[in-house]
Amino acid sequence: MTAPPDVPGVRGNGVRVARADLADPVQAEAVLALIDTYARDLMGGGEPLPPAVRDRLIPGLRAHPTTLVFLAWDGTEAIGAAVCFLGYSTFAARPLVNIHDLSVVPAWRGRGVGRLLLRAVADWARAHDCCKVTLEVLDHNRRARALYDSEGFRPPDMGHPGEQMLFLTKAL
């Protein structure tokens, strides 16, 4: 296995977080397995990734120009992933990072792995002059919401007290 480089300052409980190299087959397989684990969870839909999605996922992430992935490791075992994409804030005129998926294997949940991944993303974003890190979370996912709140994630303040930002989607 290719030993991934450490992300400075992101270590704890024997776990280290590193930026993933999707050209490394072992790391690519780890990302695929972790996203499949997330998909199988009730919060991810409760179903495994379909074979066609499994086949396209890593090539698609590698081809997408703003992909940024971090893996959490316990020795040589990948135990968590943050799949992110760079965006751009027109109001700040600076880049931003969106955490699209945050996945931790069930045996490691509640042991600080998600927090280490969030901190690695935030550290990377600060080092690259990003104005913010964003993510979406299901309203009823209280455990994730508590983690995100403890790490400083809040609903955006758009200058209209009492109003909430909505996340909308249109299937194509």
Per residue in 114-130, pLDDT tens?
Answer: 999 999 999 999 999 99
User: Which pLDDT belongs to residue 10?
Assistant: 59
Q: 1-52: per-residue pLDDT in tens?
A: 444 554 444 566 789 999 999 999 999 999 999 999 999 998 889 999 999 9
Note whether residue 164 is domain-resident: no
Note whether residue 105 is domain-resident: yes
Q: What is the pTM of this model?
A: 0.90
* CATH (domain of 56): 3.40.630.30
Please tell me the total count of domains within the chain. 1
Note whether residue 56 is domain-resident: yes
Note whether residue 161 is domain-resident: no
Note whether residue 160 is domain-resident: no
User: Which pLDDT belongs to residue 11?
Assistant: 63
- Domain with 42 in it: 11-150
Note whether residue 101 is domain-resident: yes
| For residues 147-160, average pLDDT | 87
DSSP state string for 110-161: TTTHHHHHHHHHHHHHHHTT-S-EEE---TT-HHHHHHHHHTT------S-T
Q: How high is the mean pLDDT of the chain?
A: 91
